[in-house]
Amino acid sequence: MTDPSTDRSEAELAAVSTLTYEQARDELVAIVARLESGQLDLEASMALWQRGESLADHCTRWLDGAQAQLQGEAPDDEQSAGSRPPADSDTDEG
């Protein structure tokens, strides 16, 4: 039997991989504000925290990819391949 929370997490991660950098950043800013408000129960806070972690990772991949492009790294360089912005790749490393 499948754990529903695992299914939800995988679906959320898939949704994160489709976001642009700006969309992910804006959602992350909103999550931080909600967490800082202190108005959420523990379960909701943990769910938002996990979503925020996924968004932060996604933003980091975008920024790493942009930095690699600025530094002129070869696109097939194995190290930079996982760092390119997700728009350059059909798959998302999660």
Q: Say which residue, 74 or 45, is predicted with more confidence.
A: 45
**Is the pTM for the entire model greater than 0.85?**
no
For residue 5, what pLDDT is reported? Answer: 47
**Which 8-state DSSP code applies to residue 71?**
T
- The distance of Cα 21 from the centroid of its chain, to the nearest Å, equals 9
Q: Look up residue 27 and give its two tokens.
A: 């959602």
Neighbour tally for 89: CB within 10 Å = 14
- CA 77 to CA 58: how far, in whole Å? 20
Q: Look up residue 67 and give its two tokens.
A: 């930095």
